[in-house]
Chain A
Amino acid sequence: MAYANATRERLRGEIAAIREAGLFKEERFIHAPQGAEIDVEFPAGAAVQPVINLCANNYLGLSSHPEVLAAAHAGLDRRGYGMSSVRFICGTQDLHRELERALSTFLGVEDTLLFPSCMDANAGVFEALFDEPDVLIADRLVHASIVDGMRLSKAMRDTYKHADMGHLEQKLAEHQDRRTRVIVTDGVFSMDGDIAPLDEIVALAERYDAMVFVDDSHASGFIGATGRGTHEAKGVLGKIDIITTTLGKALGGASGGCVSGHAELVELCRQRARPYLFSNSVPPVIVAAALKVIELVSRTTERRDKLEENARYWRRLLTEAGFDLKAGESPIVPVMLYNAKIAQEMARELFAEGIYVVGFFFPVVPKGQARIRTQLSAAHEKHHLDRAIEAFVKVGDRLGVRGLGREEIAARFGL
């Protein structure tokens, strides 16, 4: 072992720099299952405090749903705890095949391949399918895992301004000499909560002979009339070439992700995608529970309808209270504060009032675009949101930000 003092000092210096920049991330310890109300220890060692959770990706409230838990228990009993193998050696059970088929049916695609996470799906898919003669043209706000995955591919990379169809069209025209053009976008953008104009993207793809890739992690299970995702909401079911998504958010919230789409491209991922080839199978307990989740969301739209209603109600409460919101229709509702310090203070004070939210600021979002991102769940009841708005009003008044837009906040507090 050679952990030199100089190395230790360098690493300590880098940690100190992160702290000084105000970017140090601290874990909060949750002494409860995931849900609308949780018990949180923060900072470490502090008394455990009950709070309303407005920052989970538990959109459908299925993370601790009794039927999902029962299915997980049954999966554990029938198929064991771990596979001790990657998929292609001795890590594929009948359950994996069943879940891949269920996801394909749910998403309306030919085939699906499970990955340990959607981060892994995104890390593997581009390298497996595209090479030097191809070009990947991504929306500038796509998730970090897509950026990383695109970097791993030898394909040429380009970007277009967020949801700017004119700019995308220009890029598609510029790249007509490439073998394959792939438009890369999130379905719902995680920081802004807006929905990609997939109908327009598909029309451009048809006009300029391009494929369409969508990461629907913040949409699968609840966006669209029956929760199939952004492609359903925008009327382009069956017209997306590659969908990646996660089981780690609405669809049970444990872990696991997938690549779904045309049979050949899924098969090529099975043969080549490194995170699939070189990491363990999704454990049977998660696969069994995810099958139950797909059954639940296919059986009724009750939970996604309640989520939609909660999001509408929460947006109305915030708007009436004078907060500045990013427009949108998803259950991601960003409360815009623009100033990074104010966003951090607001999140801290809301926590003291029993409301768990997180402030986001540069480099996670552009400079001068700091915000508190709130996320709704079907597990929320109206009384949770009524209590949350009381706290927002109280803290908003204390900080003097209620009723202020970007210009006023900039003038009063700077950006």
Chain B
Amino acid sequence: MNELQKLVRDYVVREYLEEGDTREIGLDTPLISGGIVDSFSMVSLKRFLEKKCALQIPDAEATPAAFDSVRTIVELVDRLGGKGPVG
């Protein structure tokens, strides 16, 4: 995992896993289809990425498919020209 992937993975673990949930989150772990992140709670992930990577994710791009794994999330950030972790 690169730095951005690790940042996203750590945020997912911190934000979405309950205490005592020992599931491993890998690059391709299904987050939304796997029931770890519900589409409603996805909003905080979107905000986190926008802040950390200094970019705007248009609502049309913030789809459950695009947010379904650490890999697809980071691909989306790259495609939208995110700066990588800032601040």
| Residues of chain A whose beta carbon lies under 8 Å from any beta carbon of chain B | 138, 140, 147, 150-151, 156-159, 161-162, 362-363, 366-367
List, in ascending order, chain A residues with CB within 8 A of B38's CB.
140
CA distance A157 to B62 in the complex (A): 15
CA distance A147 to B41 in the complex (A): 10
A158:B35 contact, CB within 8 angstroms: no
Nearest B residue to A171, CB-CB: B44
B18:A158 contact, CB within 8 angstroms: no
List, in ascending order, chain A residues with CB within 8 A of B43's CB.
156-159
CA distance A150 to B40 in the complex (A): 10
CA distance A116 to B35 in the complex (A): 32
B34, CB-defined interface residue at 8 Å: yes
Task: Name the distance in Å between B24's Cβ and chain A's nearest Cβ.
Answer: 15
Count residues of chain B with CB under 8 A from any CB of chain A: 9
For this complex, 15 residue pairs linking A to B, each with C-beta atoms less than 8 Å apart, are: A138-B40, A140-B38, A140-B41, A156-B43, A157-B40, A158-B43, A158-B44, A158-B47, A159-B40, A159-B43, A159-B44, A162-B18, A362-B35, A366-B35, A367-B34
The 5 closest A-B pairs by CB, nearest first: A159-B41, A367-B35, A157-B43, A147-B40, A158-B44
Task: Name the distance in Å between A185's Cβ and chain B's nearest Cβ.
Answer: 14
CA distance A363 to B43 in the complex (A): 19
CA distance A152 to B31 in the complex (A): 25
Describe B's contact surface by its main secondary structure: loop
CA distance A140 to B38 in the complex (A): 9
List, in ascending order, chain B residues with CB within 8 A of A150's CB.
40
List, in ascending order, chain A residues with CB within 8 A of B34's CB.
367
CA distance A345 to B38 in the complex (A): 27
CA distance A208 to B44 in the complex (A): 19
CA distance A253 to B47 in the complex (A): 41
Task: Name the distance in Å between B21's Cβ and chain A's nearest Cβ.
Answer: 10
List, in ascending order, chain B residues with CB within 8 A of A140's CB.
38, 40-41
Nearest A residue to B17, CB-CB: A161
Q: Mark B31-68, 1 if CB is under 8 A from A, else 0.
A: 00011001011011001000000000000000000000
> Which residues, 1 to 26 on B, are CB-close (under 8 Å) to A?
18
CA distance A147 to B42 in the complex (A): 13
Task: Name the distance in Å between B12's Cβ and chain A's nearest Cβ.
Answer: 13
CA distance A140 to B40 in the complex (A): 9
Task: Name the distance in Å between B71's Cβ and chain A's nearest Cβ.
Answer: 21
CA distance A158 to B38 in the complex (A): 12
CA distance A150 to B35 in the complex (A): 20
CA distance A366 to B18 in the complex (A): 12
CA distance A157 to B43 in the complex (A): 7
Task: Name the distance in Å between A169's Cβ and chain B's nearest Cβ.
Answer: 14
Nearest A residue to B43, CB-CB: A157
List, in ascending order, chain B residues with CB within 8 A of A162's CB.
18
CA distance A156 to B43 in the complex (A): 9
Q: Given A362-B35, A366-B35 in contact, is the A161-B40 Cβ separation under 8 Å?
A: no
